[in-house]
Amino acid sequence: MRFRAIFKSRRNLSSRSVLFEYEGCSVDVRQAGDGPLLLLIHGYPLDGAMWSSVARKLATRFRVLKPDLPGRTGNPIRATGTIGSYADFIASILDRLDAPVGLAAFSMGGYISLEIMRRGHPKVSALALVDTRAVADDEAARAKRDQSIATLRAQGVAAIADAMLPLLISPESASKGDFAERVRRIILRQTPLALESDLTAMRDRPDSTTLLPHIAVPTLVITGERDVISTVAESQAMANAIPGATLVVIPGSGHLTPMENPSAVAQALGDFFEKALNPKS
């Protein structure tokens, strides 16, 4: 193995985290609660804080970990621009956890989780795909990624925030100034290198549609009613392709359901994982 991971408990006045060593770097993986293990993977152009409200609610029933992916302010590991390298990082966390583990992944995180499933990681016993897609980028989408990279290089992270906010949240959520500003703050603290890595990784990701029928763990698909990136129709098709999977649509939400309606998302995830990780209960 090219990595080494060591977990140590670390507490402070406001939170609990696990010190994680990977490729010579130390990363604090935030965690909360006790019980069956859940690992939450964030999406682009965000970090693990996008899960904070959901994680707090889930922590009444589960031990919840929400790492920042490589390249984030809270993760000094170099981002190398591939879904595979992000999956290596997540897999190394899974390697150090006791089974069973529930994996919940949002948007780009879903692409990473599908790579984890492609590899057949033995620790993952249940999967939640949240506002994500199985298809690879087509030529038009790849061109848009390249344009976003050019915009990022020329105008910086603020331009990405301006472009992404209308795609991430519904118009109703956007009208709530405090909420939109909170999402913007998360985006603005990302580094240009991390976001370029994300864009490259998403642009070049493999198609996972043929993988879906081979997913052999309980699976939940969640999407926002007004999601313009991973639409309800596309999410339903993905759920139909995964044996036994179910779809939950979050009313009124756009793409960023874990932040727009954390109560509904936490309820759906909690009920699903409670049953999936404790099948005899």
> Residue 156's CB: how many other CB atoms inside 10 A?
13
Q: Find how far residue 247's CA is from the centre of its chain.
A: 17
- In the block, residue with structure tokens 């920042």: 68
Within a domain: residue 134? yes
Residue holding tokens 């043929």?
Answer: 210
Pairing relationship of beta strands 63-66 and 25-32 according to DSSP bridges: antiparallel
| Adjacent-strand bridge partners of 8 | 19
Tens digits of per-residue pLDDT, 39-75?
999 999 999 999 999 999 999 999 999 999 999 988 9
- Tens-digit pLDDT profile for residues 248-281: 999 999 999 999 999 999 999 999 999 999 866 5
* 260 located within any domain: yes
For 1, other C-beta atoms within 10 Å of its C-beta total 7
Reported as a single tens digit per residue, the pLDDT across 117-161 is: 999 999 999 999 999 999 999 999 999 999 999 999 999 999 999
- Residue-range definition of the domain harbouring residue 235: 7-276
Sequence-distant (6+) residues with CB within 8 A of 244 are 218, 219
Domain contains 2:
no
pLDDT at 28: 87
CATH of the domain at 85: 3.40.50.1820
DSSP 205: P
The answer to whether position 176 is within a domain reads yes
Residue 76 lies in a domain: yes
pLDDT above 50 for 90: yes
CA distance 59 to 61: 5
Residue 127 lies in a domain: yes
Mean pLDDT over 26-33 rounds to 90
Longest Cα–Cα distance of the chain, Å, equals 55
Percent of the chain at pLDDT > 90 equals: 85
Give the count of domains, the chain. 1
- Residues 279 and 273: their CA atoms lie apart, in Å, by 10
Radius of gyration from C-alpha coordinates of the chain: 17
What are the DSSP calls for 66-99, one per residue?
EPPPTTSTT--SPP-S-HHHHHHHHHHHHHTSPS
Q: What is the mean pLDDT of the chain?
A: 92
**237 vs 9, which has greater pLDDT?**
237
Contact 169, 256 (CB under 8 A): yes
Closest Cα partner for 89 from 107, 62, 117, 116? Answer: 116
- 209 pLDDT more than 80: yes
38 is a domain residue: yes
